Structure 1
Amino acid sequence: MGKFSFVIMPDTQKLTRHHSELLCKSVKWITKHASELNIRMVLHVGDVVDQGADAEEEYHAAEKALSGLDQANIPLLIAPGNHDYDTPIISTSGPIPEHQHRDLKMFNQYFGLYRMEHMPWFGGAFEPYKAENMYACIHMDNIDLLVLVLEFVPRIEVMEWVDEIVKRYADHQVIVVTHSYMYMYGERVKAGDRTNPKEKYVAVASGCDGEEMWQSYLKHYPNLKAVFSGHHIPEHVSHRIDAGVHGNQVLQCFQNWQAAELGGEGRIRLVEWDPDHCYISSSVFNPNAEQFENEPGYDIDMHYIFGPVIEKHSSEKLRFSK
């Protein structure tokens, strides 16, 4: 089959709250070009909505826009963000509210396993009736993909489950999607960081941050190819390529335009993969402007081979004023 592509959809919370027409534009562009670009899936990095269960109208707006992907038979996989939880896991100016929890009842009401359990690509989930930790197997002529979407700051037991699934599908190339993993300047979120969710939010204090995910689990998987995340503000993109312990290059990519004008205008990242030539490239499309954008840090190119690589990373500090 040759090349295929998929779309990374970053934090849409400001779109579903204020500019749902721009989310619709994103979906319409994806469905219009799905055949031409061989778009095989859409991966949402979380924060579908802004106010959790307190504003069900935002979930209505998200469902209305994103249902276009279901109608076009394009798999949509969502890693929930902190704003998607029933009680949004957010910081406050005062003491951290101890009532924060990991409940995602409304998220699962609108984007639960019932949407995908009957699909041939659905693999399974960590917990029954909960879509926050699940995996899909996407099969093509020249490559098999294992895609794992994980909760915000995954619990250790979730990462142990990931370990089992990745080893079970050792002949698949692995993509991981989770809400917070990479920071804005090319580093993984780690202990001591001012913006580390573990150190800000009671509900996820016992989970794994990006550096813990990498050091304890992800770098040990020879078939891991990419990790995608969002969450952090105000900057918009960064990425790095590291070698796992088996010499495999791993693209780790952060994107989030929620702090830009109009909540990011519906920007999406298009990832193109050529398995026959071991090549992954990526670009950014703005559906509101109807054009690909050529800002520093937007385009990514990775030739992957097995063997050691020089660690590298890039980031971009962007302020949109148009």
Structure 2
Amino acid sequence: MVLFSNIHIFKAIATLFCMVNSTVNSQNSFEFVVLPDSQTLVEEFPEVYKSQMEWIVNQKDRFSFVLHVGDITQNNSEEEWEVAKSGLSLLNQKVPYNLALGNHDMGSQPGKFADTRNTVLANTYFPINQYIKNSNSIATFPENTIDNSCAEYNLAGTNWLVFSLEFGPRNKTIDWANNIIEKYPEHRIIVNTHSYMYNDNTLQDGDDWYLPQKYGVGKAIGEDAVNDGGQLWEKFIKKNKNIRMVFSGHILGSGVGQLVSQNDYGLKVYQMLANYQKNVKGVERGDSGYLRLIKVNKNDKTISVKTYSPWLKTFKTEPEHEFTFKDVNI
């Protein structure tokens, strides 16, 4: 586990990055980007993937940060990680980005999806020292890896923690996150993880497809046991008063979903699924390049969600792709 003495080192870097983005943070609203599973783009359509990053950079004064929900690559190969790095590196020291590793981003060899929790390639192409500079991270877990990270931001006058958690977060990962939250009791919190919601607007659990427990990593027990969406809600999300938003990908079918639930304190948690990879309904080739734009407005008490493709230069305006949560307690 990362020692909390290391948090002070990370925070110094994060503070410098926040100063760069002071224009964004001085407003009564803030906006950020959610990158859905990019595996199809990285494998087959790198020009579309690059266009996403170039567009974000061109809007760098608009966005406070970027979240990637995981499955950055399709086959966890060196070639695909090189593409992923070349795209995300365009954001370096311009827009912070936080990565959640998906089942396609780990495994014993390329094409072995989460048979083991081997994330060597992810950590090779995004070395920890570089990652913390570009992610505002104040802590990572396990130590000296990017497998799980916690970033800190001041957004429209409010302090936030952003957790990016591994595919099937382990019991010990949840313990790590809870320990950090205890030290920041007044911070609002966003959770970014790969597998959490299903496309029927429910938490992924029970007999749903693609549960973490159905992969090789799901055979672990004890502190290494994995958690699906329902378990993550019960053990972590609903118990923490200040978690406000949860983002995930992973699921096919419609590839989208939204759910508003009350936590143990009677406060609403806004949970969203977005995936536009190959074989998702409406984007069968997966080359459309859609991403999510999330805007939080403290004055209006709203969270607005839009879906846009820099490649196609168009929005998806159907209700499942463009919507607003009202009377939000931010």
- TM-score interval for Structure 1 and Structure 2 normalised by the shorter chain: 0.7 to 0.9
Q: Map 1:1-322; keep pairs closer than 5 Å.
A: 1-35=27-61, 38-52=62-76, 55-71=77-93, 73-87=94-108, 100-118=115-133, 121-198=136-213, 200-205=214-219, 206-259=225-278, 260-305=283-328
Q: Verify the 8 A CA contact 2:148 2:166 in the aligned structure 1.
A: yes
Q: Verify the 8 A CA contact 2:164 2:192 in the aligned structure 1.
A: yes
CA–CA separation in structure 2 for the residues paired with 1:237 and 1:78: 19
Unaligned runs of 5+ in 1: 93-98, 307-322
- Kindly state the Cα deviation for residue 303 of structure 1 after the two structures are TM-superposed: 2.5
Give deviations 1:260-310, integer Å, cap 9, x for gaps. 24424211000001123332111000122102220230112123456xxxx
Give the TM-score taking structure 1 as reference length.
0.86
Q: Verify the 8 A CA contact 1:279 1:303 in the aligned structure 2.
A: yes
CA–CA separation in structure 1 for the residues paired with 2:274 and 2:109: 21
Change (3 A) 1:173 1:16: same
Q: % of aligned pairs identical?
A: 30
Change (3 A) 1:122 1:294: same
Give the TM-score taking structure 2 as reference length.
0.84
Report the AA paired with residue 45 of structure 2. Answer: H
- Kindly state the Cα deviation for residue 142 of structure 1 after the two structures are TM-superposed: 1.5
CA–CA separation in structure 2 for the residues paired with 1:156 and 1:219: 16
Change (3 A) 1:116 1:304: farther
Report the AA paired with residue 117 of structure 2. Answer: R
Give deviations 1:153-188, integer Å, cap 9, x for gaps. 011011111111122211111000110000111010
Report the AA paired with residue 89 of structure 2. Answer: S
- Kindly state the Cα deviation for residue 91 of structure 1 after the two structures are TM-superposed: 8.4
- Kindly state the Cα deviation for residue 30 of structure 1 after the two structures are TM-superposed: 1.2
Change (3 A) 1:156 1:34: same
Change (3 A) 1:197 1:264: farther
Q: Verify the 8 A CA contact 1:82 1:89 in the aligned structure 2.
A: no
CA–CA separation in structure 1 for the residues paired with 2:111 and 2:72: 15
* Pairwise CA RMSD: 2.0
Change (3 A) 1:118 1:29: closer
Q: Verify the 8 A CA contact 1:285 1:292 in the aligned structure 2.
A: yes
Q: Verify the 8 A CA contact 2:147 2:166 in the aligned structure 1.
A: yes
Report the AA paired with residue 116 of structure 1. Answer: Y
Once structures 1 and 2 are overlaid, which stretch shifts more, 204-213 or 101-110? Answer: 204-213
Q: Verify the 8 A CA contact 1:82 1:90 in the aligned structure 2.
A: no
Report the AA paired with residue 237 of structure 2. Answer: L
CA–CA separation in structure 2 for the residues paired with 1:254 and 1:89: 26
Once structures 1 and 2 are overlaid, which stretch shifts more, 281-290 or 164-173? Answer: 164-173
CA–CA separation in structure 1 for the residues paired with 2:259 and 2:311: 28
